[in-house]
Amino acid sequence: MRLGTVAVTGAAGNIGSVVRKALRGEATRVILLDRVPLRPEAGNEDVHTIDLRDADAVESALAGADQVVHLGGVPDEAPLTDLLDANVLGTHHVLEAARRLGTERVVLASSNRVTGFYPVGHLTRSQEPARPDGLYGVSKAAIEVLGQLYADKFDLSVISLRIGSFESVPTEPRHLATWLSPRDAVGYIRAALTAPTSTRFATVYAVSANTRRFWEIPDPAVLDYTPVDNAELYAVDIAGADLPTDPAAPQAGSYALPEFTLPHLRS
C-alpha cells in the first residue's frame, strides 16, 4: 500500500532515522521535523528545523501531511518540568495541529515505561492501568491520555505505540524480554499508518517476538502486525542471560529504582 504524505517528528533520533529511511521508499512525500538541522536525502523529503514547543511552527510544518508519526521529545528520565514542556506540551501541539489541519491519523510514540512497575511474571495488557516507573513514564502516560481525548472529542484517529527497548541487537538481560528490533519497529509503525480509518484510538505494545516478553502482542483486529525478530537468538552473547529472574521484580528493571529518578528531583 502506497502511503501519501507522512510527517515524522524527531526524525534525527534513533528511531526517527530508521523510520525516515523506510518511509521515503513508501510515501509520496515525507516531512521531517527536528530541532537538529537535517538535509534532504531523497527527492520526496522536506525538512523543517523546529522546536515542538512552538505551536505555530508545528502547524506550519505539518500542513499537507496525511498522517503524522510523532517521535519527538525528551527520550529518558529528566526533571518533570522539562518532560511536561517537551513531551506533553509538544504532543499537544502536534495533536492540535492535526485537528486544525484535518490530518487523517497521528501515531504517538509512547513507551513501555508507562507500565514499568508491573512484575516480570505478569503478562501486561495495554488496557491495564498505568504504573509508570518514573517521571518519563508519567509524561508518556499523559500523551496517551491526550491522544484518547483528541480521538473521543475531535474524532482524530490516534494510535499509541508503547515502544520497547529499541536497539540494533539486545545487549543486556532485560532486553531478552523488552527488545524491539529496527525491522519490527518499522513494521509496527507501518501497520499503525495503514490501519483502517475506522480505528479511532488504540494503545498497543511495540515489542519483538521475544520468548521472554512480558507484554501482550497486539490483537490483529486492533493492529495487524506480527513481530518477526526474537531476542532469544542473542542470549548466548549476553552476560547474565542464564540467571533466574525474580517474577515479582518490576519489569522496568533499574529504571524502577529510586536512584534513577532522585537526581531529577529537588534536593
Q: Which residues are catalytic?
A: 136
**What is the helix (H) or strand (E) element at residue 14, kind and residue range?**
helix 14-23
Residues facing 113 on adjacent strands: none
The grid cell for 34 is 527536528
List Cα–Cα distances, 15 to 41, 54, 68, 109, 264, in angstroms.
Answer: 17, 22, 14, 10, 25
In whole angstroms, give the CA distance from residue 219 to residue 239: 33
DSSP character for 229? -
User: What are the start-end ranges of the H helices in 66-224?
Assistant: 80-83, 90-101, 135-154, 175-178, 182-194
List Cα–Cα distances, 129 to 118, 125, 126, 139, 144, in angstroms.
Answer: 10, 9, 8, 15, 12
DSSP string, 181-197: -HHHHHHHHHHHHHS-T
Cell 543486556, residue? 172
**What is the helix (H) or strand (E) element at residue 179, kind and residue range?**
strand 179-180
The grid cell for 62 is 505539518
Cell 518514573, residue? 134
Find, among 207, 253, 255, 206, the residue nearest to 231 by Cα: 207
